[in-house]
Amino acid sequence: MEVTQGSGVTPPDWASVEWLLDHHRTKEDERRQMVADLPFQPGDVLLDLGCGPGLWAPLFAEPVAPTGKVIGADRSPEFISYAARHRGEWEHLVEFTLADFSAVPFADNAFDAVFFGNCSAYVTNAAEVLEEQKRVTKKGGRIVAKDFDGGVLIFEPMDPDLSLQVLAAVARSLKERPMDPPFDNFVGRKVHGIFVRAGFDDVVTDSYAISKVAPLKPEAKRYLAGNAAWYAQAATPHLPEDVLRRWREHFQPGSDRYILDREDFYFCMIEVVTVATV
């Protein structure tokens, strides 16, 4: 992404292992809770589709151990290579392979569960991708989609009028000039409906508040500041420079408005988990 002049913080490269590690470490406690709430059992064979660098695999290995299996699949050779080198103590339960969302290289009824995490925002053929997940899932198995909704983003202390201006400008920009490759910043609210329209009868959706307070770890500061920079960049066509400057200053060390080191800092966003029974 091109960095807006004077932004102070570079928008994240969402395809980099470094950013995904910061993202995962920032939310690891909440992700563990999400997995604990899912109906995974010892002995389950689980497909982590769109696994990225394999950061969820250890979380899945715990509930399916000692006789289960976690297979991570992703279209990125870089991610699969990284994941294969970092299996750690779960090496005997976890393996990784290259795969495309629309043509999963596994037999029918191969898995007890399929997990599709933080990928729906990039999918333009949702029905086709879901049908492929259904094909490889056993009757009575589960398909799980975990995603976020970028329309819920709270930074405190910050004037709500400022944050709402930025959120509205981002929504308008993405509507008028969709990103290429595609990216839906508001996909979390849509996933339940996508599953229902795909013909699943048993669909359960839960929302998780991802909350962070001071003191923030370095990876959390990088994650939050990078995301804030992306919001500023996306909002730029529809906001005056003084509004964008005030937003950026909240995330620039040394600024009087900098909030990430304040003891009263609070952040919240929403992530959504949808589970369908095949």
Instruction: Please write the tens of the pLDDT for every residue from 153-186.
Output: 999 999 999 999 999 999 999 999 998 888 999 9
Beta strands in the chain (DSSP E): 45-49, 69-74, 94-98, 111-117, 137-156, 203-213, 266-277
Instruction: Please write the tens of the pLDDT for every residue from 72-109.
Output: 999 999 999 999 999 888 889 999 999 988 899 999 99
Q: 149 forms bridges with which residues in the sheet?
A: 270
212: domain range?
Answer: 17-277
Which CATH number characterizes residue 54's domain?
3.40.50.150
Is 69 a member of any domain? Answer: yes
Is 201 a member of any domain? Answer: yes
pLDDT at res. 2? 33
Instruction: Give the total number of structural domains in the chain.
Output: 1
Q: Which residues contact 126 (CB under 8 A, 6 or more apart)?
A: 120, 194, 198
Confidence of residue 14 (pLDDT cuts 50, 70, 90): confident
Separation of alpha carbons 255 and 213, rounded Å: 20
- Inform me whether the pLDDT recorded for 126 exceeds 50: yes
- Inform me whether the pLDDT recorded for 1 exceeds 70: no
Confidence of residue 9 (pLDDT cuts 50, 70, 90): low
Is 6 a member of any domain? Answer: no
Instruction: Please write the tens of the pLDDT for every residue from 204-240.
Output: 999 999 999 999 999 999 999 999 999 999 999 999 9
pLDDT at res. 248? 97
pLDDT at res. 8? 58
Is 7 a member of any domain? Answer: no
What is residue 97's three-state secondary structure? strand
Do residues 143 and 275 touch, judged by C-beta distance below 8 A? Answer: yes
Is 114 a member of any domain? Answer: yes
Instruction: Please write the tens of the pLDDT for every residue from 247-277.
Output: 999 999 999 999 999 999 999 999 999 999 9
pLDDT at res. 32? 97
Comparing CA positions, the residue from 149, 163, 98 lying closest to residue 120 is 149
Residue type, 68: G
What is residue 79's three-state secondary structure? helix
Separation of alpha carbons 69 and 61, rounded Å: 7
- Inform me whether the pLDDT recorded for 3 exceeds 60: no
Is 10 a member of any domain? Answer: no
DSSP 188: G
Higher pLDDT, 12 or 129: 129
pLDDT exceeding 70 applies to what percent of the chain?
A: 96
Q: Which residues contact 57 (CB under 8 A, 6 or more apart)?
A: 48, 51, 70, 72, 83, 87, 90, 94, 96
Confidence of residue 71 (pLDDT cuts 50, 70, 90): very high
Is 97 a member of any domain? Answer: yes
165-201 burial code (b ≥16 CB/10 A, e <16): bbbebbbebbeeeeeeeeebbbbbbbbbebbeebebe
pLDDT exceeding 90 applies to what percent of the chain?
A: 88
- Inform me whether the pLDDT recorded for 4 exceeds 80: no
Is 4 a member of any domain? Answer: no
What is the mean pLDDT of the segment spanning 186-194?
96
Query: Could you tell me the strand order of the sheet in which 266-277 lies?
Result: 94-98, 69-74, 45-49, 111-117, 137-156, 266-277, 203-213
